């Protein structure tokens, strides 16, 4: 006889967490080695600019949308920026999340008000819904989207919604918390095997493009 959801929660906190971290690390190391081991033929043409400065510059210039794009894709650009920062704050500055990181890795930092995190969660989920609608409503974007685009959307939204429900005591807490932890673990485990890998490769890929263009004396 156990409280509904308790067995699931205990599994998620123990074996589930070990599996998630194991799969994540295995996949991430594999993908990073695979990516960095890729080679191009040596470029024998004389350089017309500096590759390193071009690469470093592009890491930062890509934070700003290219001219004209902001007006063309306001929902994606504005929503995308808010969504990414929202996610960053929710994951790394919600005090109970910091407690998990501290209990796992022994490092911690100050969190921010849970009420702010709560509001950010609502905003972030709302933006995700808008971005999904925008994707579905536009025939070309819908055509370009495949299963993985919708799958990683769901993979991201379930931990957010279940976390909001757990914090605000919506539904049976133990079950909701178990779903929250499990969905977060699924997200972590699948990062290296989906487009979510960009969480770890965005710096290097920006640098790569920037350096490539920089050597040719152009801007990326």
Binding site for another protein (CB under 8 A): 1-4, 6, 9-10, 13-15, 17-19, 21-34, 37-39, 94-96, 99-100, 103-104, 111-117, 169, 173-174, 177, 180-181
Q: How far is the CB of 18 from another protein (least distance, A)?
A: 5
Q: How far is the CB of 135 from another protein (least distance, A)?
A: 31
Q: How far is the CB of 44 from another protein (least distance, A)?
A: 17
Closer CB to another protein, 2 or 42, in the complex: 2
Closer CB to another protein, 16 or 79, in the complex: 16
Among 138, 155, 145, 163, which residue's Cα sits nearest to residue 199? 155
Straight-line distance from the first to the last Cα atom of the chain, in angstroms, rounded to the nearest whole number: 61
Q: How far is the CB of 199 from another protein (least distance, A)?
A: 16
Closer CB to another protein, 19 or 132, in the complex: 19
Closer CB to another protein, 2 or 71, in the complex: 2
Closer CB to another protein, 79 or 159, in the complex: 159
Q: How far is the CB of 34 from another protein (least distance, A)?
A: 5
Q: Cα 156 to chain center, whole Å? A: 8
């Amino acid at each position: 006889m156990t409280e509904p959801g308790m067995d699931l929660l205990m599994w998620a906190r123990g074996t589930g967490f070990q599996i998630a971290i194991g799969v994540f690390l295995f996949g991430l190391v594999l993908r990073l080695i695979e990516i960095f081991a890729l080679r191009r033929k040596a470029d024998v043409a004389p350089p017309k600019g500096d590759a390193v400065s071009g690469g470093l510059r592009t890491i930062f210039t890509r934070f700003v949308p290219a001219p004209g794009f902001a007006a063309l894709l306001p929902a994606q650009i504005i929503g995308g920026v808010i969504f990414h920062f929202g996610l960053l704050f929710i994951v790394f500055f919600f005090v109970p999340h910091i407690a998990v990181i501290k209990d796992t890795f022994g490092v911690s930092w100050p969190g921010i008000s849970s009420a702010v995190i709560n509001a950010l969660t609502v905003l972030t989920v709302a933006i995700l819904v808008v971005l999904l609608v925008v994707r579905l409503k536009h025939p070309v974007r819908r055509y370009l989207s495949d299963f993985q685009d919708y799958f990683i959307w769901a993979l991201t939204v379930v931990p957010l919604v279940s976390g909001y429900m757990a914090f605000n005591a919506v539904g049976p807490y133990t079950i909701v918390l178990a779903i929250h932890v499990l969905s977060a673990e699924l997200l972590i485990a699948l990062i290296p095997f989906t487009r979510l890998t960009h969480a770890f490769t965005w710096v290097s890929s920006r640098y790569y493009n920037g350096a490539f263009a920089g050597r040719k004396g152009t801007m990326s």
